Homo-oligomer: A and B are copies of this chain.
Amino acid sequence: MSERVAEYLAGQRDAILDRLCTLIRFPSVSTDPAFAEGMRGAREFLLGRLRSIGLTEVRLLEAPGGQPAIFGAWTGAGPDRPTIMIYGHYDVQPADPLPLWHSPPFEPTIRDGRLYGRGASDVKGSTTVAVEAVAGFLAVEGGCPVNVKLFLEGEEEVGSPSLPALVKAHRELLAADAMLSADGGGAAGKQPALNIGCRGICALQFSLRTAAKDAHSGKVGGAMRNALHEIARLVASLHDEQGRVTVEGFHDGIPPLSNALRMEAASLPFDEAAWYAEFGATPFGDPAYSVRENTTMRPTVEVNGMWGGYTGDGGKTVTPAEAHAKLTMRLVPGQEPEAAQTAVKAHLERHAPPGVALEFHGRPGGTRAFTLAADHPLRAAAAAVLAREKGGRPAVTRLGGTVPITTLFQETLGIDSLMFGLASPDEDAHAPNEFFRLSSLEEGLRLWPMILTELGTMRAADFRTRG
Contact = CB atoms under 8 A, between A and B. Distances in A.
A219 B314 contact: no
Contacts of A317: 93, 157, 201, 302, 304, 328, 401, 430
Contacts of A465: none
A38 to B, nearest CB: 14
B330 A218 contact: yes
Given A32-B314, A214-B431, A229-B239, A304 B328 contact: no
A400 B231 contact: no
A262 interface: no
Contacts of A318: 304-305, 430-431
Interface stretch (A8-16, A131-139, A275-283): A275-283
A45 interface: no
Interface stretch (A173-181, A291-299, A387-395): A291-299
Interface string A218-238: 111111111011011111101
Contact of A315 (B203, B298, B316): B203
Interface string A398-423: 01111000000000000000000000
A355 interface: yes
A218 B221 CA distance: 40
A248 interface: no
Q: How large is the interface on A (under 10, 10 to 19, 20 to 34, 35 or more residues)?
A: 35 or more
A216 B430 contact: yes
Given A201-B317, A355-B282, A308 B306 contact: yes
Secondary structure dominating the interface of A: loop
Given A213-B280, A400-B222, A309 B304 contact: yes
A363 interface: yes
A228 B221 contact: no
Centre residue among A223, A228, A231, A326 by max chain B CB count within 10 A: A223
A221 B300 contact: yes
Q: What number of copies of this chain does the assembly contain?
A: 2
A313 B199 contact: no
Interface stretch (A57-65, A143-151, A204-212): A204-212
Contacts of A235: 228-229, 232, 236
A125 interface: no
A225 B213 contact: no
A234 B233 CA distance: 9
Contacts of A222: 243, 285-286, 294-295, 298-300, 330, 400
Given A235-B232, A236-B236, A330-B217, A94 B312 contact: yes
A99 interface: no
Given A309-B306, A314-B158, A425 B236 contact: no
A186 to B, nearest CB: 11
Contact of A236 (B219, B229, B323, B353): B229
A352 to B, nearest CB: 12
Contacts of A201: 218, 317
A416 B434 CA distance: 60
B223 A229 contact: no
B316 A31 contact: yes
Contacts of A313: 31-33
15 contacts: A30-B314, A94-B316, A199-B218, A217-B328, A217-B401, A218-B400, A222-B286, A222-B400, A229-B238, A280-B321, A302-B317, A304-B317, A315-B326, A316-B326, A317-B430
Query: What 9 A-B pairs have minimum CB-CB distances, sorted nearest first?
Result: A218-B401, A212-B280, A31-B314, A282-B355, A232-B235, A305-B309, A211-B281, A222-B294, A223-B285
Given A222-B400, A223-B285, 14 more contacts: A31-B313, A94-B310, A94-B316, A211-B281, A213-B280, A215-B430, A218-B401, A219-B295, A221-B330, A233-B236, A233-B241, A282-B354, A311-B324, A311-B326
Interface of A: 30-33, 93-94, 96-97, 100, 122, 157-159, 198-199, 201, 203, 205, 210-226, 228-229, 231-236, 238-239, 241, 243, 279-286, 291, 294-295, 298-300, 302-321, 323-326, 328, 330, 353-355, 363, 399-402, 425, 428-432
